[in-house]
Amino acid sequence: MNKKLSTVVAAATLSAGVLLASVGVGDAHAWVHSVGHAGSGQIVAGKIVISYHNSLTRDIHCAYTIGTAETSSALHQAADKVNSAFQKLDADDEDGYRQDFTAGWGLIAEQHVSGKLLHLGDVSVSPTVITPGKTETVTFTPEGPIAAQYAGLVQCQELDTANGNPAPSDRTTRVKYDQDLGAFDITAAPSGGGNGDTSGAWGSLEDLLP
């Protein structure tokens, strides 16, 4: 493993240890207390439009990652691994949590180091904040000609609205805050409405754009 990739994975492992004291999440597929993923994406007028939808009762903050079409499988696997990690943490399987968390973010790191990610998001750096029941969109313009397909990954975390920080989790009382990683393919918006393959992601961008 090269030095750069080792550094990224080591950072993910460190984050796993820190989160053990503050996070508990159940469903390996999406949010614990809500259905569907928080993010989706489409190609609209030569730009990639990422949509965030908050189906929870607290504010969430989100960030997106975009890769070439060939990263789709890795990003889907990464999302499944990281979501599975939080399910294992919820079951007090801390070793399994660390293993899946590191494996998931390791897959993302590999795509980043290979140069296949066009944008790598981080919810701790300038995230988009979405209030309950609302939808927000952000746009990304790839360099060069627009491709027919890209791969997307959205990471969202529930916020403690009192101070803007991730809601605390007490492992004794099992007070939790939700988070979700959702991977999806990004293609052109169909002329008749609806959206492309978002692997269970929310909604259509046709109703969101002017």
**Helical axes 72-90 vs 94-113, angle rounded to 10°:** 160
- pLDDT tens-digit readout, 101-138: 899 999 999 999 999 999 999 888 889 999 988 999 99
Structural domains present in the chain:
26-79+116-207 (2.60.40)
pLDDT class for 75, splitting at 50, 70, 90? Answer: very high
Classify strands 60-68 and 150-160 as parallel, antiparallel or unpaired.
antiparallel
CA–CA dist 172, 46 (Å, integer): 50
